């Protein structure tokens, strides 16, 4: 079933879901895109109330851009009446998290200030180049390839910054399910993937009815399941609550959803100023971002232990940048604005601003110091020749 596309400056182009899938299968591998699907617009969002509650209850943690036009975010055709479909793309940046992954424990206050190196204290998504640049460029490339086959194709592309509920659309387009940690999880690839979208003036025949999630995306480097499922589940967490229990700040609400104002990712990346009084220790050893609720997820352990056969390599650009080496946490705690700009422009670390980086590094150092046991009298005796 398809949705009507309001006539506008970009006349609708009709295409079947099968023909679109064939075009995506040609375009995506050339542009390092691992998953792609489509949602017909306009589309009632099944979890619209979850979004309204998030903003209404002030759980957006001071990110005012999120609250600016809550209803507009639920219907992209209010701004772009020509849009007949929303394409959703995913790009892997890590193949899961190995069980007992040490790097969030980088989050745990253990070890000396430079062990593990400071880059291990940075979320996996943020150790290389900026995904906004890489993924947006890749989606532009794929959409340009579609446009060569579909003259008159009009698009608006966004990664992160557009007013789109990317995870809800990713679920509707069949890319995965949303876990309790609120991340979009693909059963075989885990959640270590970025999302991006392209509004297009396509009228796609043969997509699920508006608001009904697809069971598989139109294009995928790996199928979600061995056998086709009759309906796409809203969640596949079952009785697991590992992420809820592991979250150091209780940011994942037991009833579902996240309080972004309590999330360490917010505190270390978006927050300008100081964390709530008396809560410095909760940051542990995390310098930038937080992966804890993904690192404990069994779907990510599985993705790391048994990646699907024939998976293309991770896109170059997301590996830790060699230029990050050679700095210590102490260097970061006093890094100058100029040095910060020279090193971190066009990387995700740019987002926390130099003040945020100095603040984060100082707090990690303080937490590590607090966690290092003071020498005891016995230590002194043992150390005496």
Q: Which residue has the tokens 């809203």?
A: 234
Q: Whole-angstrom Cα distance, residue 45 to residue 28?
A: 26
Residue 164, interface with ligand B12 (CB under 6 A)?
yes
Which is the catalytic residue, given 34, 75, 133, 160? Answer: 160
Beta-carbon count within 10 A of 63 CB? 14
- Looking at the Cβ atoms of 22 and 212, the one nearer to ligand B12 is 212
Residue 289, interface with ligand B12 (CB under 6 A)?
yes
Is 160 a residue of the active site? Answer: yes
Cα distances from 141 to residues 28, 157, 272, 333, in angstroms, run 9, 11, 35, 39
Beta-carbon count within 10 A of 28 CB? 27
Cα distances from 59 to residues 179, 238, 258, 282, 317, in angstroms, run 18, 25, 7, 19, 33
Partner whose binding site includes residue 63, from ligand B12, ligand SF4, none (CB under 5 to 8 Å by kind): ligand B12
Residue 89, interface with ligand B12 (CB under 6 A)?
no
Cα distances from 379 to residues 74, 368, 370, 372, 375, in angstroms, run 62, 20, 18, 14, 6
Dump strand ranges (E) for the chain.
Answer: 13-16, 35-40, 85-92, 155-158, 177-178, 184-185, 193-200, 202-205, 219-220
Residue 184, interface with ligand B12 (CB under 6 A)?
yes
Residue 301, interface with ligand B12 (CB under 6 A)?
no
SS3 32: coil
Residue 357, interface with ligand B12 (CB under 6 A)?
no
- Looking at the Cβ atoms of 165 and 269, the one nearer to ligand SF4 is 269
Question: Is the CB of residue 330 less than 8 Å from the CB of residue 119?
Answer: no
- Smallest gap from Cβ 63 to ligand B12, in A, equals 6
Partner whose binding site includes residue 37, from ligand B12, ligand SF4, none (CB under 5 to 8 Å by kind): none
Residue 243, interface with ligand SF4 (CB under 6 A)?
yes
- Looking at the Cβ atoms of 189 and 264, the one nearer to ligand SF4 is 264
- Looking at the Cβ atoms of 77 and 265, the one nearer to ligand SF4 is 265
| Residues contacting 301, CB < 8 A, separation 6+ | 96, 97, 98, 99
Q: Which of residues 293-352 bind ligand SF4 (CB under 6 A)?
A: 293, 296-299
User: For residue 156, what are the β-bridge partners?
Assistant: 199
Phi, psi at 178, each rounded to 5° = -95, 120
Q: Which two tokens stand for residue 383?
A: 């150390």
Query: If binding means CB under 6 A, how many residues of this protein chain bind ligand SF4?
Result: 23
Q: Which of residues 260-279 bind ligand B12 (CB under 6 A)?
A: 260, 263, 265-266, 270
Residue 8, interface with ligand B12 (CB under 6 A)?
no
Partner whose binding site includes residue 234, from ligand SF4, ligand B12, none (CB under 5 to 8 Å by kind): ligand B12
Instruction: Candidates 221, 252, 287, 352: give the one binding ligand SF4 (CB under 6 A).
Output: 252
Beta-carbon count within 10 A of 73 CB? 22
Binding site for ligand SF4 (CB under 6 A): 179-181, 237, 240-243, 247, 249, 251-252, 258, 263-265, 290, 292-293, 296-299
Q: Please give the positions annotated as active site.
A: 160
Binding site for ligand B12 (CB under 6 A): 45, 47, 50-51, 54, 63, 66, 123, 125, 159-160, 164-168, 171, 177-178, 181-184, 191, 193-196, 234-235, 256-258, 260, 263, 265-266, 270, 289-291, 293
């Amino acid at each position: 079933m398809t949705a009507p596309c309001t006539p506008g400056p970009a006349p609708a182009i009709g295409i079947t879901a099968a023909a679109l899938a064939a075009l995506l299968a040609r375009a995506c591998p050339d542009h390092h895109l691992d998953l792609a699907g489509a949602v017909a617009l306009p589309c009632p969002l099944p979890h619209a109330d979850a979004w309204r509650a998030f903003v209404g209850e002030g759980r957006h943690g001071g990110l005012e851009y999120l609250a600016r036009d809550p209803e507009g975010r639920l219907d992209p055709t209010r701004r772009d009446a020509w849009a007949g479909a929303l394409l959703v793309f995913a790009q892997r940046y890590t193949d899961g998290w190995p069980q007992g992954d040490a790097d969030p424990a980088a989050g745990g206050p253990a070890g000396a200030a430079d062990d593990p190196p400071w880059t291990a204290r940075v979320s996996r998504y943020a150790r290389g180049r900026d995904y906004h640049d890489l993924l947006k460029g890749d989606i532009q490339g794929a959409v340009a390839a579609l446009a060569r086959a579909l003259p008159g194709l009009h698009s608006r592309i966004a990664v992160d910054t557009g007013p789109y509920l990317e995870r809800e659309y990713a679920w509707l387009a069949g890319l995965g399910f949303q876990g309790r940690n609120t991340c979009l999880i693909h059963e075989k690839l885990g959640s270590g993937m970025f999302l991006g979208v392209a509004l297009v003036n396509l009228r796609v025949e043969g997509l699920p009815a508006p608001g009904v999630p697809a069971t598989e995306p139109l294009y995928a480097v790996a199928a979600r399941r061995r056998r086709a499922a009759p309906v796409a589940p809203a969640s596949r967490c079952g009785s697991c609550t590992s992420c809820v229990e592991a979250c150091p700040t209780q940011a994942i609400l037991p009833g579902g959803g996240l309080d972004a104002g309590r999330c360490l990712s917010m505190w270390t990346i978006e927050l300008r100023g100081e964390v709530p009084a008396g809560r410095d220790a909760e940051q542990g050893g995390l310098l930038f971002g937080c992966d804890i609720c993904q690192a404990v997820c069994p779907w990510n352990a599985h993705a790391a232990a048994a990646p699907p056969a024939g998976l293309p390599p991770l896109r170059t650009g997301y590996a830790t940048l060699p230029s990050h080496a050679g700095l210590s946490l102490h260097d970061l705690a006093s890094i100058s604005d100029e040095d910060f700009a020279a090193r971190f422009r066009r990387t995700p670390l740019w987002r926390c601003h130099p003040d945020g980086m100095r603040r984060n590094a100082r707090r990690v150092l303080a937490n590590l110091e607090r966690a290092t046991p003071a020498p005891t009298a016995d230590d002194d005796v043992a150390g005496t020749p």
